[in-house]
Amino acid sequence: MTTPPSPKIVVVGCGYWGSNHARTFSELGALYAVSDRHPDRAEALAAMHGVKAMAFEDVLRDPAVDGVVLALPPQYHADQAIAALEAGKHVLVEKPIALSVADARRVVEAAQKTGLVAMTGHVLRFHPAFEALEAMVAAGDLGSIRYIHSHRVGLGKFHAENDALWDIAPHDLSLILALTGEKPVSVRGVGSAMLNRLSDFAHLHLQFSSGVRSHVFASRLNPYRERRLTVIGSKAMAVFDDVADWNQKLAVYHHKLWEDDNGWQSEMVDPSYVDLPDGLPLTRECSHFLDCIRTGTSPRTPVSDGLAVIEILSEGTVRHD
């Protein structure tokens, strides 16, 4: 049986993350061209992968282009995503897909109107450790989920337009929404700005109608790196630690809890580690985008997921100390 040709993809934005996308789609045999508002940057990346550099307007007009990947400063994502969809191109747009709820809704409406694949770049949804954790939760292996908390902290990446909350928290919010399967009914956020007007620390507290509660802590002014998502269930607890070695990225704890005449008691046990298949999250995400274009199926991380995250971010930025 003849393998259908790969969709032709243009990566728009040739910075750090766009370069990663270009390399990945090149390895998948799908990179058609790259584009950037700085032509010299686009030419350099195009030469590296043996493809051409194109102006964005030419990308929209080229009938050979099947899809575009937008890895731009987020203030440009919404308008360019809508322009690409209206030009008949499938879209993978990096997070956040916009900087306002209204603009994110415009992207979702354009996707619904065109019927094209419109996917949000929530890359950690494609991490083998998270996929295994998601399957455990769905199967009831952890029991009823009571609490989910995430810590994503480190040093650096001080963006001019978006703070720690908008830059870092979308990763974990997308994971929490996937695990709960619902939007929060209550969001409370606090941000702290140390260097300038933009928050370098952010806390979000979420409450869901099912009774699950959650918090997210994000910081870009921290002396150590931490990338940890913890799920507390009635039967067991699980930790997705993306800084840990591959064979310890997903740990499951069956700590014992009981109540007696002296109150609640506990006994700690060593964790068990889940065996994970190999696979880079970005490669898996890009492959999924190509598969959706080929088959016409809906992506696992549609732009409506990106809108749900932005709704939380917008509600969570009301308080700053």
> pLDDT band at residue 4, thresholds of 50, 70 and 90?
confident
Q: Is the pLDDT of residue 112 over 60?
A: yes
The pTM of the full predicted model, rounded to 2 decimals, is 0.92
Q: Phi/psi at 188 (nearest 5 deg)?
A: -130, 125
Strand duo 9-12 + 31-35: pairing: parallel
* pLDDT in the model for residue 2: 58
Does the domain at 125-281+311-316 match CATH 1.10.287.130? Answer given as no
Q: Mean pLDDT throughout 292-304?
A: 97
Q: Which amino acid is at 159?
A: H
CA angle 230, 217, 214 (to 5 degrees): 50
Q: Between 3.40.50.720, 3.90.1150.10, 3.40.30.10, 1.10.3720.10, what CATH number should domain 9-122 receive? A: 3.40.50.720
3-class secondary structure per residue, 104-165: HHHHHHHHHHHCCCEEEECHHHHCHHHHHHHHHHHHCCCCCEEEEEEEEEEECCCCCCCCHH
- For CATH 3.40.50.720, the residue range(s) in the chain are 9-122
Residue-wise pLDDT for 216-245, tens only, equals: 998 888 888 999 999 999 999 999 999 999
- For CATH 3.30.360.10, the residue range(s) in the chain are 125-281+311-316
Residue-wise pLDDT for 12-50, tens only, equals: 999 999 999 999 999 999 999 999 999 999 999 999 999
